[in-house]
């Protein structure tokens, strides 16, 4: 990372403990092989044995996508509040604080300008490590500002999604972020902007049912869980076992819902390629 | 009469209302019997209220007693409905006798011309669409429908629409835009249908596209949550210039049961009550948050007590909004609609410079 004037997300994160348990070796949840952590991380957090794509945070995602040192964070001045004074077993205010301490992040999104193989773009990623990447007002506002900036600057837009959906603790206001982000994308579309939506494991609920599914091109990482309703909810509704691979990327590709499945190691070059075909 | 009463009074909190109505009924029966010179022995079948009090009233005082009971009844009903807990509001919103989209169409509209199908997959009865006349306005009506009979409910998946429902709604709305016809949408769904076919046919995509396209339809759009406003399934037809909720409707990102199951780990009476309160899902709460622009009052005791009166109130609101939006240019409409949703959300914003300074 270059030392730009603004605080960078990687710096903030670096000081904090990684949410993945420490250890030189770990067992791949997919193939069961013991793999060397450093090797897995150097392989973009993909299992070198079976190609299982580990879940990654937003900072790591942006680092992987952007040309080295080109990512400039934006909209870092937005912080969540507790507008409804929401309290379940724990208050939302306490939950937010705990998540901020745990992750070193303010909320579940990172956004900014970057170059991808030399092509300028707005790059935005949700962060699964912060409250399951759920969309509340800050996530919705950041994404909307990202889209609006891409519209004004005439830049291609890349949003990487991974989320449990809309954030319950902001209730109706979270729901409205779906309309807000989608409306911003309508204007971006009117301006003939290119939006590449990248879906990663897992992308569900209100995030899928808004900006994530509105890409001009929709790309998914292999075997990512992508859907509107979660598998458990569907199972409870229909009361039968779900077919193997249901709601995974490959199933969505077959159903005609996404355009391409792209391995993480190819993502940068695929994005550059689509920008060359469709970008301004 | 008594048979319908038992299904009508399915809500616990309405017990005082039911008791009073039964007392009135019994008193009236006694009065009638007294004036006919016969005598009533025993309690009419189905009545469970304590009627000893009525028996103690001399026949001559009965008319006055009935009057005071009636006054007490309307006062009790008003009080109960003014102070509904959020969870009880959800129950009222789900009341089986609560008017649904097809009922409101019948009450409010003339010459309804239903239009079916999404031209791609099928016709989803969970969303009703068609041309209609409301007052002097020609409109396109779009609304969730839950179904009244068991058969109809199953066909409508209890108001849970499939992707073809949302696509049908959008296709008809785009046609309405083409002909400059304003759109009225009535929202009443527990949520979009969670199932195999729905996922396979792109439930999320269908809703997302509706959100994007409704934001740029150059014709007036008016939405009212008439019963349940369950999450994305509700919003999928509710991106509008003016949004209102009926007094006893609910609108939220998730149902109280869904929220309780996730955040309280279990859904029961107690956690549902807590979740309903926490979610701020009532009409008054949503008005306060700016999510809706107006609350449409219901007749005392809820829309299910007097569907025709509820429809009159709803119609009056819709007509007034159509009047306000009439003549506004398409470009102005979508610019204002954008701003309406753009400003929703609550967050802290510091100056960018301050963040940069802190980092140094």
Q: Look at A140 and B345 and tell me if their CB atoms are within 8 Å.
A: yes
Chain A residues touching residue B352 (CB < 8 angstroms): 6, 76-77
Chain B residues touching residue A220 (CB < 8 angstroms): none
How near does any CA of chain B get to the CA of A233, in Å? Answer: 7
The 3-state secondary structure of chain A reads: CCCCCCCCHHHHHHCCCCCCCCCCEEECCCCCCEEEHHHHHHCCCECCCCCCECCCCHHHHHHHHCCCCCCEECCCCEEECCCCCCECCCEHHHHHHHHHHHHCCCCCEEEEEEEECCEEEEEEEECCCCHHHCECHHHHHHHHHHHHHHHHHCCCEEEEEEECCECHHHHHHHHHHHHHHHHHHHHHHHCCCCEEEEEEEEEEHHHHCCHHHHCCEEEECCCCEEECCCHHHHHHHHCCCCCCCCCEHHHHHHCCCCCEECCHHHHHHHHHHHHHHHCC
Confirm if B101 and B108 have CB atoms less than 8 A apart. no
Q: What is the ipTM, given to two decimal places?
A: 0.91
Chain A residues touching residue B342 (CB < 8 angstroms): 144, 180, 183-184
For the stretch A123-142, pLDDT in tens is 999 999 999 999 999 999 99
Confirm if A240 and B217 have CB atoms less than 8 A apart. no
For the stretch B232-258, pLDDT in tens is 999 999 999 999 999 999 999 999 999
Distance CA B187, CA B85 (A): 22
Q: What's the pLDDT at B343?
A: 97
Facing A171 at nearest CB: one of B204, B280, B349: B280
Average pLDDT, chain A: 91
Distance CA A271, CA A196 (A): 8
pLDDT above 90 for B56: no
For the stretch A109-124, pLDDT in tens is 999 999 999 999 999 9
Q: What are phi and psi of B168, to 5 degrees?
A: -60, -45
For the stretch B11-31, pLDDT in tens is 888 888 988 888 888 888 888
Peptide bond into B143 cis (omega under 30): no
B344 touches chain A (CB under 8 A): yes
B173: Cα separation from own chain's centroid: 21
Show which of residues 252-291 on chain B sit within 8 Å of chain A, judged by CB atoms. 252-254, 258-259, 262-265, 274-275, 278-281, 285-286, 289, 291
pLDDT above 90 for B333: yes
Show which of residues 187-226 on chain A sit within 8 Å of chain B, judged by CB atoms. 187, 189-190, 205-206, 208-214
Distance CA A52, CA B159 (A): 39
Q: Which domains does chain A have, with CATH numbers?
A: 20-54 (no CATH), 56-279 (3.90.226.10)
Domain ranges of chain B: 12-83, 90-342
Show which of residues 15-74 on chain A sit within 8 Å of chain B, judged by CB atoms. none
Confirm if B291 and B243 have CB atoms less than 8 A apart. yes
The 3-state secondary structure of chain B reads: CHHHHHHHCCCHHHHHHHHHHHHHHHHHHHHHHHHHCCCCCCCCCCCCCCCHHHHHCCHHHHHHHHHHHHHHHHHHHHHHHHCCCHHHHHHHHCCCCCCCHHHHHHHHEEEEEECCCCCCCCCCCCEEEEEEEECCEEEEEEEECCCCCHHHHHHCHHHCCCHHHHHHHHHHHHHHHHCCCCEEEEEEECCCCCCHHHHHCCHHHHHHHHHHHHCCCCCCEEEEEEEEEEHHHHHCCCCCCEEEEECCCEEECCCHHHHHHHHCCCCCHHHHHHHHHHCCCEHHHHHHCCCCCEEECCCCCCHHHCHHHHHHHHHHHHHHHHHHHCCCCHHHHHHHHHHHHHCCCCEEECCHHHHHHHHC
How near does any CA of chain A get to the CA of B348, in Å? Answer: 5
Q: What's the pLDDT at B153?
A: 94
Fold of B90-342: 2-enoyl-CoA Hydratase; Chain A, domain 1 (3.90.226)
Chain A residues touching residue B279 (CB < 8 angstroms): 84, 168, 171-172
Per-residue pLDDT of chain A (280 residues; tens, 9 = 90+): 344 445 555 544 544 455 555 678 999 999 999 999 999 999 999 999 999 999 999 999 999 999 999 999 999 999 999 999 999 999 999 999 999 999 999 999 999 999 999 999 999 999 999 999 999 999 999 999 999 999 999 999 999 999 999 999 999 999 999 999 999 999 999 999 999 999 999 999 999 999 999 999 999 999 999 999 988 888 887 887 888 899 999 999 999 999 999 999 999 999 999 999 997 6
């Amino acid at each position: 990372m270059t030392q730009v004037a603004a605080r960078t997300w990687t710096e903030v994160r670096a000081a904090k403990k990684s949410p993945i348990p420490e250890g030189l070796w770990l067992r791949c949840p997919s193939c069961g092989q013991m793999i060397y952590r450093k090797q897995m991380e150097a392989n973009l957090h993909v299992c070198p044995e079976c190609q299982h794509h580990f879940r990654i945070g937003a900072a790591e995602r942006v680092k992987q996508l952007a040309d080295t040192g080109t990512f400039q964070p934006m909209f870092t001045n937005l912080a969540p509040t507790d507008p409804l004074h929401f309290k379940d077993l724990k208050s939302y205010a306490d939950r937010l604080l705990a998540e901020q301490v745990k992750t070193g992040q303010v909320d579940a999104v990172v956004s900014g300008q970057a170059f991808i193989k030399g092509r300028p773009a707005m790059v935005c990623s949700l962060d699964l490590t912060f409250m399951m990447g759920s969309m509340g007002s800050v996530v919705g506002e950041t994404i909307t500002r990202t889209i609006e900036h891409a519209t004004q600057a005439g830049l291609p837009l890349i949003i990487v999604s991974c989320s449990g959906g809309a954030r319950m603790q902001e209730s109706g206001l979270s729901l409205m972020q779906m309309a807000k982000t989608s409306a911003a994308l309508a204007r971006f579309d009117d301006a003939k902007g290119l939006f590449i939506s990248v879906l990663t494991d897992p992308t569900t609920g209100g995030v899928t049912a808004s900006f994530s599914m509105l890409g001009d091109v929709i790309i998914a990482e292999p075997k990512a869980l992508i859907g509107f309703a979660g598998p458990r909810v569907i199972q409870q509704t229909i009361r039968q076992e779900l077919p193997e691979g249901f709601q995974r990327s490959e199933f969505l590709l077959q159903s005609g819902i996404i355009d391409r499945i792209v391995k993480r190691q190819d993502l940068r070059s695929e994005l550059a390629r689509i920008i060359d075909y469709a970008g301004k | 009469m008594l048979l319908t009463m038992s299904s009508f009074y399915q809500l616990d909190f309405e017990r005082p209302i039911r008791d009073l109505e039964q007392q009135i009924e019994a008193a009236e029966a006694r009065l009638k019997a007294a004036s006919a010179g016969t005598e009533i022995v025993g309690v009419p079948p189905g009545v469970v209220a304590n009627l000893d009090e009525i028996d103690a009233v001399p026949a001559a005082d009965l008319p006055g007693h009935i009057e005071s009971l009636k006054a007490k009844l309307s006062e009790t009903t008003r009080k109960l409905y003014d102070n509904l807990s959020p969870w009880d509001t959800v129950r009222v919103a789900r009341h089986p006798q609560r008017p649904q989209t097809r009922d409101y169409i019948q009450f409010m509209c003339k010459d309804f011309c239903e239009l079916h199908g999404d031209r791609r997959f099928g016709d989803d009865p969970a969303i009703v669409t068609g041309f209609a006349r409301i007052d002097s306005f020609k409109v396109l009506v779009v609304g969730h429908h839950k179904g009244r009979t068991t058969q109809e409910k199953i066909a409508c998946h209890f108001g849970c629409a499939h992707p073809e429902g949302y696509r049908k709604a959008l296709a008809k709305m785009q046609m309405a835009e083409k002909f400059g016809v304003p759109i009225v949408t009535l929202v009443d769904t527990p949520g979009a249908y969670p199932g195999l076919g729905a996922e396979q046919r792109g439930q999320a995509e269908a809703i997302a596209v509706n959100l994007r396209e409704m934001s740029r339809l150059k014709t007036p759009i008016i939405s009212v949550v008439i019963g349940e406003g369950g999450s994305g399934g509700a919003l999928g037809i509710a991106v509008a210039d003016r949004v209102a909720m009926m007094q006893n409707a609910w609108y939220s990102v998730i149902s109280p049961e869904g929220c309780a199951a996730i955040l309280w780990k279990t859904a029961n009476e107690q956690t549902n009550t807590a979740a309903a309160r926490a979610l701020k899902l009532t009409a008054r709460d949503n008005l306060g948050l700016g999510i809706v622009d107006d609350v449409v009052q219901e007749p005392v005791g809820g829309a299910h007590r007097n569907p025709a009166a509820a429809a009159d109130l709803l119609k009056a609101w819709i007509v007034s909004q159509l009047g306000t939006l009439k003549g506004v240019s398409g470009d102005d409409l979508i610019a204002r609609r954008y701003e309406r949703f753009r400003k929703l959300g609550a967050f802290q914003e510091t100056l960018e410079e301050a963040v940069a300074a802190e980092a140094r």
